[in-house]
Amino acid sequence: MIVKSAEFICSNTQVSKLPPPVKPEYAFIGRSNVGKSSLINMLTGKKGLAKTSQTPGKTQLINHFLINDNWYIVDLPGYGYARISKNKKEDWNKFIRTYLDKRESLQCVMVLIDSRLEPQKIDLEFCNWLGEKGLSFVLVFTKADKQSSIKTDQNIAKFKKALLATFEEVPPIFVTSSEAQSGRDEVLGFIDEVNGSFVVPEYLKS
């Protein structure tokens, strides 16, 4: 897939105010500081599209980016962020989960995992929640340039083993590096393939 255009459309904290669900959407989510904004910028080829920050938890809204006037990248708040009140954290969790569970045009959840780390409980719990809800997801391992490929492979193998404790099979896996621009074609190719089978809900066609 060639990305010809990528533009910011809107930020929301209310699912009711999101764009009409008539185009396929791909939600990007992961632990804070997993490199989500950098990955989105790398995939779209627009350096400042998603705002990067050294402060975990910077993304606190549901951000929609329209790609090629055809589909959306949805940038979701990271889970496991610190320095926010318990009430606010619960509110965010609620609207993130409502979006993921109820959004008709959501095609796949792109779960970002830091390839430098061994399996983290919070990542596994989130994957298990997606599985319980029957939501389609893939694993996108980030920051692969920060260590040897052997170490990356070892951590991915450990994550797969941990996931197989609750899943019958492991979802598709992508290994990426925003710095090295690696994994871009594979992720975009997957999205392009899924887009081909997207059907607008009947009640929205009129």
Delimit the domains of the chain by residue range.
Answer: 6-196
Give the whole-number percent of the chain exceeding pLDDT 90: 73
Residue 56: is its pLDDT beyond 60? Answer: no
With contact defined as beta carbons under 8 Å apart, do 26 and 72 qualify? yes
Distance, in Å, from the CA atom of 50 to the CA atom of 133, rounded to the nearest integer, reads: 28
Q: Say if residue 124's pLDDT is above 90.
A: yes
How far apart (Å, rounded) are the C-alpha atoms in residues 15 and 18? 5
Cα separation, 8 vs 28, in Å, equals 15
Q: Which residue has the higher pLDDT, 84 or 134?
A: 134
Mean per-residue pLDDT for 75-86?
Answer: 69
* pTM (2 d.p.): 0.91
Token couple for 198: 């997207």
- In the predicted model, is pLDDT for residue 26 greater than 80? yes
State whether CATH 3.20.20.140 applies to domain 6-196. Answer: no
3-class SS shares of the chain: helix, strand, coil, % to 5: 35, 20, 40
Question: Mean pLDDT across the stretch 170-185?
Answer: 97
Which of 48, 50, 54, 101 minimizes the C-alpha distance to 72?
Answer: 50
Which pLDDT does position 93 carry in this prediction? 75
